[in-house]
Amino acid sequence: MELHKYYIKTADTLVLIAQELGLTVSELKEYHNNSSRPHEWIKADNTLPTWSDYIIIPNSVEILKKNKEDLLSTEKVILTQKEIKESQYTILQTIDLQVAGSSMIDSETEIVWGFNKIKKEDGFYGDIIQKSHQVKYIKSIYRQFAEYMQKFNKPLEHLNVELFPEGHIKSLTNQEEIRQAWNVLKESLKPELGNTLEEKNMIEGGDKDFSNTLPLIKNNVLYTLFFNDVFYEYTELNIFAELEKQEYVSQIFANEKVTLSKKRKVEREGNIVKIKFYSESDSNKNGHLREIYNTKLKDFLQEPYSYSLTWSLEYHFDFLQGKMLLCHSKIKEQASNKYSHLTEHKIELTKINKNG
């Protein structure tokens, strides 16, 4: 592997070199130390090596400076994946299902994830450890059921994922660990289970989902939000650009697919990049939902079909670090005025309390 060198000038400090090359001090220091011998390392106080007249850098000086110019450009934004260490995200999830004027499901859940992302020669890998999962609010009649169903999330409390360059999940690298965690959970649940058809279906569903978990993850809104395709070079800033249509799994029509039109707007404020998406149902593509409504729901709800789905989504990224700071997603779907479903997620980078 070719080593790229930056030759140290008299007045240079690690901070000045990092600024010149468009790198962070930590990534410059880490790259040099990983590529050199101990006596050539940059010290803990960021003192440059005295036994060498150069430091080793990730690419040529010319390319790094060109990358810095691209980063500082007001005409485009290049958001790239980078390693992320010891990050923690707090996720607030709210769900509200309204039927005929009554709230059937109304819940608020707080989840805390520890997250790391490392780079290997073949790409980036993300590691999620669920630190807590708390149902902060739910109607009392559903609490016992919700707490019981929460047990079925235990096999997903640790996920290691391989990522595509754009950001979404390519594969699960700890699939066997997930399957074994499910088998342990299944054994522990035996004393609580009866012999009903519903329970048999739940166990069979768990056997399927936790033996091949990738489809389950890809259909979960939270994971698709956290690992979305956002790492691109954006050349259209401050305007809404039309994107390809997308599919969404309906929450009120028994997992039917809904076709959405989609647009995106990218803004930059200093080192913060804001990526905004807005999607809505395409009336020309979702005629099958009208048939389902008229057949199964119209007589009960006593009102005509008036389907709509809107999805607003916004990300804030520190683009120098490639780190998500915030994600706010709100999805409202309704079949008529009396039948609607709201799902909202707010994901925020939070400080880690190392004292516990």
Crossing angle of helices 61-72/14-21, nearest 10°?
70
Q: What is the pLDDT of residue 356?
A: 44
Q: What pLDDT score was predicted for residue 145?
A: 67
Q: pTM score, two decimals?
A: 0.79
Task: Check residue 353 and give its pLDDT.
Answer: 58
Q: Are 113 and 355 in contact (CB under 8 A)?
A: no
Along the chain (356 residues), what's the average pLDDT of each consecutive run of 10 residues? 87 92 88 91 91 90 80 77 93 93 86 95 94 86 70 91 96 96 90 79 90 93 96 92 93 92 93 95 89 93 94 94 95 94 97 58
pLDDT of residue 288: 92
Nearest CA among 289, 278, 228, 210 for reference residue 256: 289
Q: Return the beta strands (E) in 253-338 as ranges.
A: 257-269, 272-281, 308-318, 323-336
* pLDDT value for 73: 65
Whether 119 and 83 have beta carbons less than 8 Å apart is answered as: yes
Contact of 41 with 64, CB cutoff 8 Å? no
3-state secondary structure the chain: CCCEEEECCCCCCHHHHHHHHCCCHHHHHHHHHHCCCHHHCCCCCCCCCCCCCEEEECCCHHHHHHHHHHHHCCCCEECCCCCEEEEEEEEEEEEEEEECCEEEEEEEEEEEEEEEEEEECCEEEEEEEEEEEEEEEECHHHHHHHHHHHHHHHHHCEEEEEECCCCCEEEECCHHHHHHHHHHHHHHHHHHCCCCHHHHHHHHHHHHHCCCCHHHHHCCHHHHHHCCCCCCEECCCCCCEEEEEEEEECCCCCCCEEEEEEEEEEEEECCEEEEEEEEEECCCCCHHHHHHHHHHCHHHHCCCCCCEEEEEEEEEEECCCCEEEEEEEEEEEEEECCEEEEEEEEEEEECCCCCC
